[in-house]
Amino acid sequence: MAVAVAAAALLSGTGTAHADTSAAAGHAVPGAVRTLSGPAVPGVDVSNWTGEIDWVGVAEGGVAFAFVYASEGLDYTNEHFEAQYGGAAEAGLLRGAYHFAQPHESGGAEQADFFIDNGGGWTPDGRTLPGVLDVEDNPYNNRNGLNNCYGLSKQKMTAWIGDFTRRYRQRTGRDAIIYTTTSWWRTCTGDSPGFGRNPLWLARWGAEPGELPASWTRHTFWQSADKGRGLPGGQNSFNGTLSQLKLLAKPRSAVKAAGRVSGNTYTVTVANTTGTTVTAVKVSGRTFGGQNIARAGKGCTFSGTAVRCTIARLAPGAKTKLTIVTRPARTAAKTRGLKVTVGTVNLTLTAKAR
C-alpha cells in the first residue's frame, strides 16, 4: 500500500507497504492457502506519491476500481485526494478511500473519525466502496523507535482495530475493509479471529494470495504487486465478478425483517441494523389465498387484500412489531399467506393449511 507522510519524514524504499513474502522466503506457517475462487477484477491503489493520474487511460486499460489514500494518523491528509478520488469516479471506476493507521498516536475511534471527516466516509451512490483501514508494519521505526506493532501488545492492537471498525460502522453503516498482511496480523494481533465481518484486502506480492489471517476464510481484495506496467500505483484484484464488486458499493438495506404466522394473525418484526436512526420505513403487504385484511396496527392503513404501514422512527439496534389480522374467505384456499416488502427486504409468510 502506498502511504504518504509529511515532507520531513523519511520512508524506507519507495514508501509502499511491506508485502507478506514469508512463503516466498521459505518460511512455512500453518493455515489454509487460498487462491482466487473466480474471475478476478483488476484495480489499483494510489497515494500522493502517485501524483496526477490519467484516469481515462486507467479505465481504458481495463481497471474497474481504485483505492485512494485519504489520511494518516490524526494530522495528515493526501493533498491530491480530491483530484484522484474524483477523477477515478469521473472515469467510471468504483472507488474507495483508505486510512494509514498510526495506532500509537491515538485511539482507534479518533482515527476513524479523522478518516471519515477527510474523505473516508461512505456515500450510497452505487460507486463508492467502503473505507479501508490499512494496518501493517511500522515504516517509521527509525524515527519513532517502535517495533513493527507500534509498541502495542497483541491485546491492545486487537482492541484498537476493534475501536476503529466499530466507529466506522456506527458513522457510515458499513463495515470497513481491512488491508493487512498475514505475517503482520499474526505477529501484532496474535492472529485474531474476530474480524470476519470486515472484508479482507490482503497484501502479498507474488503469483498467489497465499495463506490468510485467522479472521478470514477468503480474501475480498488482493494486492499482488506494488506497481505495474502502464498502470499507476499498486496492482490489485477483486476476488469475484464485476457484478459482485458493484454489490459491495451499493447501499445495504437499513433494516432487517422477520415474520411469523399464528392462525389468521401475521406478525412482522422490523429491526434497524445500522448505527444511525432510520425514519419513515415503509412496509407494504398483500394477502394471497382469498384473505382480506381485517385489522392492522398503529401507522397502518388497509383495504381489501392490501396493507401499508409507515414506521416513523427506529433508533440504532431497535426493533418494532407490526400485527396484521386477516379474515379468511368463505371458501378456504389450499395456500394462504401474506407477502411483505420492508424497504428492499421481501418476505413471504405462509399460513399452515387447515
Domain boundaries, the chain: 33-249, 255-350
Q: What's the pLDDT band for 39 if we cut at 50, 70, 90? A: low
* CA-based radius of gyration for the chain: 24
Q: Is 45 a catalytic residue?
A: yes
> Given 45, 137, 175, 211, which residue is catalytic?
45
User: Residue 2 has what pLDDT?
Assistant: 44
Given the residues 20, 72, 113, 134, select the one marked as catalytic.
134
Where is pLDDT greater, at 177 or 276? 177
How far CA 87 is from CA of 53, 81, 127, 261, 289, in Å, comes to 8, 10, 13, 52, 54
Position 305 pLDDT exceeds 50: yes
- Which residues, listed in sequence order, are joined to residue 225 by a DSSP beta bridge? 235
pLDDT for 316 equals: 85
Mean of per-residue pLDDT scores for the chain:
87
CATH of region 255-350: 2.60.40.290
Q: pTM of this prediction?
A: 0.69
Q: What's the 3-state SS for the chain?
A: CCCCCCCCCCCCCCCCCCCCCCCCCCCCCCCCEECCCCCEEEEEEECCCCCCCCHHHHHHCCCCEEEEEEEECCCEECCCHHHHHHHHHHCCCEEEEEEECCCCCCCHHHHHHHHHHHHHCCCCCCCECCCEEECCCCCCHHHHCCCCCCCCCHHHHHHHHHHHHHHHHHHHCCCCEEEECHHHHHHHHCCCCCCCCCCEEEECCCCCCEECCCCCCCCCEEEEECCECCECCEEEEEECCHHHHHHHHCCCCCEEEEEEEECCEEEEEEEECCCCCEEEEEEEEEEECCCEEEEECCCEEEECCEEEEEEEEECCCCEEEEEEEEECCCCCCCCCEEEEEECCEEEEEECCCC
Q: 316 vs 251, which has greater pLDDT?
A: 316
pLDDT band, very low/low/confident/very high, at 21 (cuts 50, 70, 90)? very low
Q: Catalytic residue among 20, 72, 113, 136, which? A: 136
The pLDDT assigned to 1 comes to 67
pLDDT at residue 10, as a whole number: 28
Alpha carbons within 13 angstroms on the beta-carbon side of residue 331 total: 0
Digit-coded pLDDT (tens) for 324-354: 999 977 766 778 999 999 977 889 999 876 6
Statement: residue 25 has pLDDT above 80: no
* Confidence label for 225 from pLDDT (cuts 50, 70 and 90): very high
For 64-94, what is each residue's pLDDT tens digit? Answer: 999 999 999 999 999 999 999 999 999 999 9
Mark whether 125 is an active-site residue. no
Fold of 33-249: TIM Barrel (3.20.20)
pLDDT value, residue 93: 98
What's the whole-number mean pLDDT along residues 6-19? 31
- pLDDT at position 178: 98
Least confident of 13-27, 178-192, 254-268: 13-27
Top pLDDT among 164 and 298 is at 164
The model's confidence at residue 274, banded by pLDDT at 50, 70 and 90, is: confident
